[in-house]
């Protein structure tokens, strides 16, 4: 969470619009645009709203993010409990699901034996890009098990102008450009405003690094952002 308030963003926007008395663009409207901008930023930059949490796993292999979670960033380690003072345990590494399915085809079965036998300590996790709010753990869970995760959370809307933004201050300029884009689009029928809107959206996109690689770089499946195994992993290790 940042330290800039809605009023800080709105003041900069109003200076650019030359509407410091909120005649054409009321503050309530600008505040809605700020909230839209935060969601747009998090959509392209999940780490903008990254959150650490210790969670209790449910029985089995399939796990879900806490309420409000949008996308898993990574699973870090086993924990002794959900409390912030809990003791950290074994590190958890990402594994390729195809390799796991080949070596341990019955790993989802709660009755499986051997290295895949369900337990309270996770060794690996699996992430599916097409289902970003869920992940799987190996071995599956049987009993009380806890892990530390990092995930992207839905940004909290600003309810008033004194509220602070839900993303880091480094995204302040991006917020301003997005709000200006929306403002100029409102009056796009006037000469030059359509181009002004397009310019500010382009600045917004450049500021947040929007592009096809932004989510890939943060994906748990990305070798540069995680620690995938080279070749066939030692699943039982």
116-137 pLDDT tens trace:
999 999 999 999 999 999 999 9
Binned at pLDDT 50, 70 and 90, residue 237 comes out as low
In the predicted model, what is the mean pLDDT of residues 189-213? 84
Structure-model confidence comparison of residues 234 and 6, the more confident one? 6
Q: Distance between CA atoms of 201 and 206, rounded to whole angstroms?
A: 9
Distances (CA, A) of 53 to 41, 67, 165: 22, 12, 21
| Helix segments in 79-192, DSSP class H | 97-103, 172-186
In the predicted model, what is the mean pLDDT of residues 171-196? 92
State the chain's mean pLDDT as an integer. Answer: 89
Poorest-pLDDT segment among 74-83, 193-202, 221-230: 221-230
Residue 8: in which H helix or E strand, if any?
A: helix 6-17
Q: Distance between CA atoms of 98 and 82, rounded to whole angstroms?
A: 31
Q: Is the dihedral of CA 181, 166, 27, 22 positive or negative?
A: negative
Binned at pLDDT 50, 70 and 90, residue 229 comes out as very low
48-90 pLDDT tens trace:
999 999 999 999 999 999 999 999 999 999 999 999 999 999 9
pTM (global) more than 0.85: no
15-32 pLDDT tens trace:
999 999 989 999 999 999
Residues 6+ apart with CB under 8 A from 35: 155, 157, 158
Poorest-pLDDT segment among 21-30, 107-116, 170-179, 218-227: 218-227
Contact predicate 66/149, CB 8 Å? no
Could you tell me the two tokens for 37? 């901008």
Q: Distance between CA atoms of 56 and 53, rounded to whole angstroms?
A: 10
């Amino acid at each position: 969470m940042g330290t800039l308030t809605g009023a800080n963003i709105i003041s900069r926007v109003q200076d650019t619009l030359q509407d410091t008395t909120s005649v054409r663009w009321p503050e309530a409207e600008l505040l809605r645009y700020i909230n839209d901008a935060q969601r747009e930023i998090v959509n392209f930059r999940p780490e903008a709203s990254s959150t650490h949490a210790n969670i209790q796993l449910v029985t089995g292999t399939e796990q879900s993010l806490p309420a409000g979670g949008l996308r898993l960033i990574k699973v870090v380690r086993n924990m002794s409990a959900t409390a912030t003072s809990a003791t950290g345990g074994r590190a958890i590494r990402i594994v390729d699901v195809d390799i796991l399915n080949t070596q341990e085809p019955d790993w989802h079965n709660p009755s499986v034996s051997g290295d895949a036998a369900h337990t309270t300590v996770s060794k690996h996790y699996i992430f599916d890009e097409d289902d970003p709010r869920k992940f799987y753990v190996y071995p599956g869970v049987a009993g009380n098990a806890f892990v530390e995760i990092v995930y992207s959370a839905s940004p909290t809307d600003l309810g008033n102008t004194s509220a602070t933004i839900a993303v880091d201050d480094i995204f302040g300029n991006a917020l301003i450009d997005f709000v200006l884009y929306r403002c100029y689009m409102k009056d796009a029928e006037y000469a030059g405003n359509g181009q002004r809107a397009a310019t500010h959206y382009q600045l917004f996109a450049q500021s947040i690094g929007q592009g096809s690689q932004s989510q890939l770089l943060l994906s748990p499946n990305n070798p540069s952002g995680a620690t995938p195994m080279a070749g066939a992993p030692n699943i039982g290790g």
